[in-house]
């Protein structure tokens, strides 16, 4: 089987997984997107930049986060990952198939949520770069968790920690005048997304949070490679 056919087969496998796991799809995708979409219709919250930033971080942490790690965790428990590795599936093919749907969910969110919330985005190219990169960070982090965790339960616990950090860390921006707090915010994995909505039209691509974002992507990509190689070694 060539690379193209393997990719088609893997995407078909993910599609069947979604069809047979409607509860997980509802919890990790439908609920966060649907709840915040409804919340945006309330006049009190419509137009709120801070709520939009919070909503995006939370939805990314679920659609690009928990959804990924729990999917991999279940595959490991059912020995499906072992079967895929033994069948000759390459790391790039496996990662692409895993992130395919979570990435689509995240793209949908980052494009339509500003419209739902009635927030004007001053520079869509910069915003999309930050949004896509932030969702990629969540994907890579949870890929690593899923590949290194012993079970779906272990993966869920670690993922919950990421969700909590993504949810509550932006709240520390009120204390950003304190140097240790500012340092943590500037170099966190959601720094660019948080800083963008604070500065909006004043945000520059040379902001320190962009450097932080790139470092997180590179570091997590290396960790993901190690995690996949470790799984391959375990099943050789």
DSSP 98-155: HHHHHHHHHHHHHHHHHHHHTPPPS-HHHHHHHHHHHHHHHHHHHHHHHHH-SSHHHH
Q: What is the pLDDT of residues 88-104, one digit of tens each?
A: 777 788 888 888 888 88
**Phi-psi region for residue 200, left (φ > 0), alpha (ψ -120 to 50) or beta?**
left
Which carries the bigger pLDDT value, residue 234 or residue 180?
180
Put residue 117 in one of left, alpha, beta given phi > 0 → left and psi -120 to 50 → alpha.
alpha
Q: What is the pLDDT of residue 24?
A: 76
CB 54 within 8 A of CB 163: no
Which ranges in the chain belong to alpha helices (H)? 3-20, 22-25, 31-39, 49-59, 67-77, 80-86, 91-117, 124-148, 152-168, 179-186, 191-199, 208-235
Which token pair is 70? 């729990």
Instruction: Give residue 141's pLDDT.
Output: 92
Q: What is the pLDDT of residues 146-203, one digit of tens each?
A: 888 877 787 888 888 888 888 888 777 766 677 777 788 888 888 898 889 888 888 8
Number of domains in the chain: 1
Whole-model pTM: value is: 0.88
Structure confidence at residue 121 (pLDDT): 92
Higher pLDDT, 170 or 125: 125
- pLDDT recorded at residue 236: 55
Q: With bands split at pLDDT 50, 70 and 90, how would you rate the model's confidence at 86? A: low
Cα torsion through 73, 75, 79, 83, rounded to 10:
-130
Q: Is the pLDDT of residue 81 over 80?
A: no
- Given a cut of 90, whether residue 216 has pLDDT beyond it is yes
Whole-number mean pLDDT of the chain? 84
The CA dihedral of 26, 32, 37, 43, to the nearest 10 degrees, is 140
The whole-number pLDDT of residue 132 equals 92
Reported as a single tens digit per residue, the pLDDT across 40-70 is 889 888 988 888 988 898 888 888 888 888 8
Name the residue range of residue 62's domain: 3-235
């Amino acid at each position: 089987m060539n690379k193209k056919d393997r990719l088609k087969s893997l995407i078909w496998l993910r599609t069947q997984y979604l069809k047979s796991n409607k509860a997980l799809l509802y919890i990790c995708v439908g609920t966060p997107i649907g709840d915040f979409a409804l919340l945006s219709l309330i006049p009190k919250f419509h137009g709120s930049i801070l709520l939009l930033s919070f909503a995006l971080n939370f939805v990314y942490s679920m659609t690009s986060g928990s959804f990924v790690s729990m999917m991999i965790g279940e595959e490991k428990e059912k020995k499906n990952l072992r079967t895929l590795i033994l069948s000759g599936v390459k790391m790039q093919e496996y990662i692409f198939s895993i992130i395919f749907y979570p990435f689509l969910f995240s793209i949908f969110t980052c494009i339509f949520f500003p419209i739902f919330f009635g927030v004007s985005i001053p520079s869509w190219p910069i915003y999309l770069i930050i949004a896509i990169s932030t969702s990629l960070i969540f994907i890579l982090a949870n890929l690593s968790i899923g590949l290194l965790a012993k079970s779906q339960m272990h993966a869920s616990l670690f993922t919950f920690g990421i969700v909590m950090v993504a949810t509550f860390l932006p709240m520390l921006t009120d204390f950003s005048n304190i140097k240790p707090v500012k340092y943590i915010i500037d170099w966190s994995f959601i720094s660019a997304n948080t800083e963008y909505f604070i500065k909006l039209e004043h945000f520059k691509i040379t902001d320190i949070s962009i450097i932080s974002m790139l470092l997180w992507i590179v570091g997590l990509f290396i960790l993901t490679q190690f995690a996949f190689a470790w799984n391959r070694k375990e099943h050789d």
